[in-house]
Amino acid sequence: MIQNLGATNSIFNQFISELRDITIQQDRMRFRRNLERVGEIFAYEISKTLSYETKEVITPLGSTIMQLVCEQPVLATILRAGLPLHQGLLNYFDQADNAFITAYRKYDKNEAFDIRVEYISSPDFNKKTLILSDPMLASGASLVKSLKGMLAIGMPSHIHIVTALASVEGIEYMKRHLSRLNLTIWVGAIDDELTAQAYIVPGLGDAGDLAYGKKSDTNI
């Protein structure tokens, strides 16, 4: 199931437009905060799909019955670009357990790349709701490989993929490789073009660099 929040007019699209805007992008703190706000809206929308139970709440003047979430989801993200989006989700699911994944593109001399997943730190999420966030769903390879790595640990009852921007090709890749899973993709906007280097066009650029600064070519 694909949930494209950008397809409906709301203040959400203001935040997506600012993430794309080359002038506003110069303010790193604002870029990070916009990713965080997008994550908060995704969290609110995802909360509508969770299970609820009746609980009594005691107030200073009496008591009331309310419907509250039965169990917090487990939040996972791909370092480093995913951190601001993850924080937005965590702001709302503030009692959630968290998982972190190191995944990156390893380029060869011909500029072709392979996705490397080297480390996963995760709580138990077996039979729980898992929310995996990454700001860009370009080719889809990193998300698929990261998720398959997590599924070696356990099997969630439902998986929510959260991304600010996606390409059509990336979404189709996810559908082909994850069709047997109970999965929902939440996206802020879907762009048609993906370059040979797997960059989304018009996209927004490199979310990790915009949030935290350009990487050195000597990183290992």
- Return the residue matching tokens 């490397």: 116
Three-state SS for 117-136 is EEEEECCCCCCCEEEEECCE
pTM assigned to the model: 0.91
Residue 110 has pLDDT above 60, yes or no: no
Q: Which of 7-16, 192-201, 207-216 has the highest mean pLDDT?
A: 7-16
- Asked if residue 202 belongs to a domain, the reply is yes
pLDDT tens-digit series, residues 122-153: 999 999 999 999 999 999 988 998 998 899 88
Q: Is residue 158 part of a domain?
A: yes
13 dihedral zone (left: phi>0; alpha: psi -120 to 50; beta): alpha
Separation between Cα atoms, residue 176 and residue 115, nearest integer Å: 17
% of the chain at pLDDT higher than 70: 93
Element of type H or E holding 194: strand 193-194
Phi and psi at residue 54, in whole multiples of 5°?
-80, 130
Q: 210 in helix, strand or coil?
A: helix
Residue 140 lies in a domain: yes
Residue 66 lies in a domain: no
* Domain-embedded: residue 68: no
- Which CATH number is 27's domain given? 3.40.50.2020
The domain total for the chain is: 1
Q: Is the peptide bond before 202 cis (omega within 30 degrees of 0)?
A: yes
Which range of residues forms the domain containing residue 200?
Answer: 2-49+74-212
State residue 181 phi and psi, 5-degree precision: -90, 155
* 105 located within any domain: yes
CB count in 10 Å sphere of residue 54: 8
Strand 74-79, strand 52-59: pairing: unpaired
DSSP secondary structure letter of residue 82 = T
Question: What pLDDT score was predicted for residue 218?
Answer: 53
The answer to whether residue 62 sits within a structural domain is no
28 lies in some domain: yes
The angle, 0 to 180 degrees and rounded to 10, between the axes of the packed helices 141-151 and 168-177 is 30
